[in-house]
Each structure stands twice: as C-alpha cells, then as structure tokens.
Structure 1
Amino acid sequence: MDTGTHVVMGIAIGGLATLDPVIANDPVMKQSVMVAAIIGSQAPDFDTVLKLRNNATYIRNHRGITHSIPALLIWPFIIVGGIAMLTPEVNYLHLWLWTFLAVFLHVFVDIFNAYGTQALRPFSHRWVALGVINIFDPFIFLSHVVAIFIWGYGMAEPGITFLILYFILAFYYVWRISAKRKVVHHAKSLMPNATHVFVSPTMNYNKWHLVIRTPEKMQVAQSKNHEIHFFETYPFEPIPDDPVITAARVDKNLSAFLSFSPAYRWEKETLENGNLEVRFIDLRYRSKGHYPFVAIVQLNEDLQVMSSYTGWVFSEEKLQQKLSLATQ
C-alpha cells in the first residue's frame, strides 16, 4: 500500500491496542505503543532508501528481505529496543506484540497488491501478488481517516472504533477477492486455453487491467463494468538464445526487471548510430495505450553495454533523457 495508508493503519493499531488492559491503564504504554505501531507500520518500506543507489537495486530488493518472515520478528525487536532505551519502564512483551501486529499488517496488506512481496522468504523467493487491492485504495484510506476522526473528537472509544473498522475491512477484502475471481473466470470463459490471467486492480472498483496468457500468445485487455475489452496481442515465446539479448541480460537493470516482471514482451533493433537496443516491456500496467514499466539496454557492435535503464517512464523523450544520463 502507499505510505499514507500505512501511516493511518499504524495509528489504528495504536488505538486498537487500548483494548489491552496493560496498555489501557498505563499512559506511558499508550504513548509507547502508538509510537511503535506507527514506526512498525512503516518499517518494512525503509528499503525505499535503495532508490538513492539506483532503480535496479530498488526493484530487485524492494518488498524483499524487509517483508520476509525473519523481518516480521526482527523489526519489532529493533523498534521496541529503541523505545525501551527512552522509556525502560514499559512492558516489553505487550509492546513487542502490538508492534509485531503493525509490522505484520503492513506485509499482509501488501500481498494483495499487483506488485506483491517476497513474504515467504527465506523458504521461497517467489513474489506473492494477489492483485486484489490497488496500491492506493480510497475506501481503505478514508475509512481509517473517518475512524481516527471519530476517536479524535471523542465520539467513541478507540479500541471498539478500530475493532469495528477492521471487521468492516475484512468483509471488504472478501468482496474484492470475490470480484477479482469473477474477472478471472470471465476472462477464462472468453479464452478457455488461458494458462494464466495477470490482474492489476485500479482505483476504479469496476476496472481491472488484464494480461491473459495462453500457450501461444499474451492478450492485453481490460475488464470494465463487467465487460472485457481486448487490446494488443503479442506472441508468448521464451527469451531467445540470441547473442545480443544474452549480452543485454547480464546488465543489472534488465536482470532486475526480469526478476520482478512475469508478463512482458521483448524487442531488438539497430539504432541509427549503429548501436543495438534491447527493450523489455511489462504488459501489466497499460495506461492510455502506453506501457510505462520498461527495461532498456543499449550495446555497441562488440556487445558491450553502453547505457541502460529500468523503471517507470511515461514518454519516449523522458526515456532517452534517462539513457543519456546513464552514459555519463
């Protein structure tokens, strides 16, 4: 989810914690748990700092080890340890448990996005991406804001307020899972030989981006108001054993892209200056006829990488600018 949603979820966990008598009866614990829950709700995304290094490192590692099973246990210890240095009189066990819940909830809700996480590490490096909830979901965010408002203005106790909120959100998630299943079932009814349907939700509850893969092709489509509209069709074929593409795959940017994207097409061309260009395009994020998530590698005639880039680009002009910067 987005940062704002994780923040309001942290506040909600801090309010929900007042149902715990150990916390409800101790002002210091109330404050400590609130601080720990807000930090814990953000902690798994601290790997965003990797953007300062380069996009390849960020794409390959974001939502990886920081969202893993060991991290679920380690983050609370780090956060509680820091808070305990300032307020040593806190109840460590109860503070750790509520901090753990904040961290766990962060990772749990991220699984429902199309981006997903490597939440099963170290047992599996597979990306778990259910494609049910958009990165930013207005209902989830605004319902938290309303609950915080109700609490802040003293209209209800925080514990019961947020408990009711999460019961409502549980039913909301069930509804979204059901809606996604209906979209997948509809897509497979139109293309019975489909082997996989990649689904990316949008902020419009009745609109979903689709990539329908069969043994022969990948069909880019959109489900809107219970109707599926088909767009581009591309052949589904393995990456060829081609010297140019093989040389490009060694590049860190393309390697990071391939570690993340499950539905893409590739193309190769010779540029006017004689250099070669290999371009991989993720098909899941079609927007206004454009595919913004790409990886590009440019090589010279000796198959040496001259420049490369991976990430989100919404115009060819911007992409060329980024490639020019990469060669400097």
Structure 2
Amino acid sequence: MAFAAVETGRRRRRQRQHAPTLREVAERAGVSTASASRALARPALVSADVHSKVLDAASALAYVPNASARALSSSRAELAGMVLPSDANPLTLRALRAFERDLGAADVGVLVAISSKARSAADCAHWLESRGAAAIALFGAMDTVGPVEVKHPCWAIVDLGFDRAVELAARYLHDLGHRRLCLVDEPAMGRSVQLLFALSDLVEVRIDSYDFRSVHPKEFGRQVVERWMALGADAPSALVCSSDLVGASVLRACLDHAIGVPRDVSLVAVGESGVATLTQPALTSIRIAAEDAGAAAARTILALLGDRTAVEARPGVKLVLRESCAAPR
C-alpha cells in the first residue's frame, strides 16, 4: 500500500510538471501570449478568429487556467502607453483627454512617457513596452521615430491633422491671391517634406522655425516680425502660424511695428485654444477636431490589443473665417 501511494504521488507530480502552459497554448494557436490570455479571459477584446484558434489550442492541449493567476490578472487593468512631445500644445492635450477617457471606459490603464532632445519618442516607446504596455500611441512624434519603427505592429502614430490644416490654409490664401507664404513653426514639430510638395503647385512656401519655449510669447512674436521685415520685397504676403497663441504673439508684434493686419500681411492660425477670438483683429484659423483624433487613437489601441486590424481615422479640419486675412495689395 505504501509503495502504491508513493507511485501515485509521483504520477501526480509528473502530471503537474507536464501541465500545458499558456505559452504553449499561444504557440499552438500562432498568437502572442498576451492575445491568448485575452482570448481566454476577455474574449471581447480579440477577433473571432483569434478567439477560435486559442480555444481550439487550449482544448487540444487540455489546458486548465491557473485560478489564482486568472483572478490576479482579471483584477488588473490592461496597459497601453502614450508618448508625448515635451512641447505638447492645447490641441494635443484635448486629444489626450479623449484618448484616456475612452481607454479608461474599456478598463485599459495608460502609462505616459515624454520625449525630449535627450530621449527620443522611440526610446520612450521601448521603455513603455518594458513596463508592460502592450500597445503604444505616439502623439506628434512622427519625426523622431525611424521609418522602420513607424511600422511596429504595436505602435500607432496619432494624426492630429496639422499637415491637412496647413494645406487648407494655403489653399484658402491662394484663392485670395497670395502666392508666397511662410509657415511659422517650432523645430520640434519637424513638418514633413511631403507637405511642401503638396503645396508646391499652389504657392511658394518657406518654413521658419523658432524655439517658442525658450522666450516670452511677446518676444517670439517680435522675432518673427523682425525676420519678416528683413526680407523686404521678398517677404511673404501671408503667415500661417502653428497655433493661435503664436498667431496672437505675431499679431501683437505687427501692431507694435505699425504693420497692418490684414492690410500689409495676412495671418492664419492652425488650431484653436480660444485665443483666436480674443485678438483685434480676430484671427482666421483652422479648427481641428482634436477630440476625434484622441478617440480614433483609442480605437486603434483597442484594436491592437485585440489583434484586430486598426482602421485609420483622421480628424476633421475646418476653416473659420474672421478678420486677419485679405487679398494681398
């Protein structure tokens, strides 16, 4: 009897040692371990195909989930990551609010990393992955992520609509008769060469970069206007500013130098934080539906978490006519 009891105990230990693991289920199903876990614990987050493959693999291996591990994982929100530029503007912040709200409603927690000159967006994304983020949204970080990593299966670049907003501004100014424009921008924005190609058939565009974070708002407006004045006869007849705060600063500097807006130069601001309506004259602007961008980013992250194909969505842009633009003289 004692011998039989010992043999039975050994068999049980061998059975426990050879019990199939979640990793083996995932390998048999051809999915990641995280996807296999979601398919078993939260099937609504994965596609029907992934769910079916995981169930078939679990059945074939006679896999039985560990009850204590399952209880622990079910009490903990899944994690996503977001990378922000250090100079996030009001437009980005509005997108972030919608992004975090929609992920929170789906019980997905959010880890945040902020990129800088010393820490690229790609470095931030890798760090977030090491902390458990299963999918990552990069806000305004396209130019600091390599072309190969842009195609990373668990990273999503969030389109805030800036390029399309600038193009809409350029087309409006072209219709007014302007043929030479200047985009007043920040170095960290790093607007794409594709944008210049898109506008080259309409107008001549130059991009002037300023480090708006290092000086008082009134000072960077003065820098913009003094550089514009130094161009003399070659000065562009219209300025497209990267935010309404930048536009308001440029407008103030124009008034200080007795430059008429829109008599001598037209101004358009990209994005609205409420400042555009407070200036005199009020700034014509391009309104970007930033909340839509944040909500679309959240849907993309949820699709990546569920191994589903994300559908690209772009926020709407709309021209808001006010008083700062006119036909060139």
TM-score normalised by structure 2 residue count: 0.24
TM-score normalised by structure 1 residue count: 0.24
Say which structure, 1 or 2, has more relative contact order (CA 8 Å, 6+ apart).
2
